[in-house]
């Protein structure tokens, strides 16, 4: 099964430091349409998100799950699964991106063809995760993406998640080429 692993904050919803309340959730413009298009293309959609605010004691796992519920509502249940890593960066936990723990968990739960899958996010840790697991990495320029555009080498740079979905639609019957920027 083809999968798109989606970062949460800055990729499908607007970046907010340590989002605690469901009312803070605001989708990135075009994100709901993008998720719908990716779903129509037959992709399994999985959110993978570092949530170090839990490990730092700033937010609770209950806060994270309440925010998840609001995201599920906004995206009409089109996201198949959410995985989180609550560890602080200095812990270097196996689940924390760019380490592959969350992707490995998903691969145990679902029959994922990693070579036909994507990791999409607004940080180099998302791109590095894609490299580590054998997927293709996409850096979106929403969230923190602009800060990282010259710091990593993704398969694709997209202005936002909707531009990436359009790229997928255009490339259904075409061989994929790396090093592309798409609007």
3-state helix, strand, coil in the chain (%, to 5): 40, 20, 45
Among residues 7, 122, 126, 160, the one annotated as catalytic is 7
The yes-or-no answer on residue 9 being catalytic is yes
The yes-or-no answer on residue 126 being catalytic is no
Among residues 9, 63, 122, 160, the one annotated as catalytic is 9
Beta bridge partners of 13: 9, 27
Q: What is the 3-state secondary structure (H, E, C) of 88-149?
A: CHHHCCCCCCCCCHHHHHHHHHCCCCHHHCEEEECCHHHHHHHHHHCCEEEEECCCCHHHHC
Look at residue 182 and give its three-state secondary structure.
Answer: strand
Residues with catalytic roles: 7, 9
């Amino acid at each position: 099964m083809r999968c798109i692993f989606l970062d949460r904050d800055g990729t499908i919803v607007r970046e907010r430091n340590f989002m605690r309340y469901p009312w803070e959730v605001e989708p990135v413009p075009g994100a709901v349409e993008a998720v719908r298009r990716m779903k129509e293309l037959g992709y399994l959609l999985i959110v993978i998100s570092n949530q170090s605010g839990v490990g730092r004691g700033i937010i609770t796992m209950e806060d994270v799950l309440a925010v998840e519920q609001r995201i599920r509502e906004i995206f009409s249940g089109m996201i198949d699964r959410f995985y989180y890593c609550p560890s602080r960066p200095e812990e270097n936990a196996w689940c924390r991106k760019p380490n592959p723990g969350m992707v490995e968990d998903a691969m145990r739960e679902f029959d994922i063809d990693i070579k036909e899958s994507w990791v999409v996010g607004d940080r180099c840790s998302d791109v590095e995760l894609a490299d580590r697991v054998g997927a293709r990495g996409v850096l979106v320029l929403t969230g923190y993406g602009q800060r990282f555009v010259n710091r990593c080498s993704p398969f694709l740079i997209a202005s936002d998640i909707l531009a990436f979905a359009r790229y997928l639609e255009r490339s259904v019957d075409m061989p994929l080429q790396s090093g592309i920027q798409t609007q």
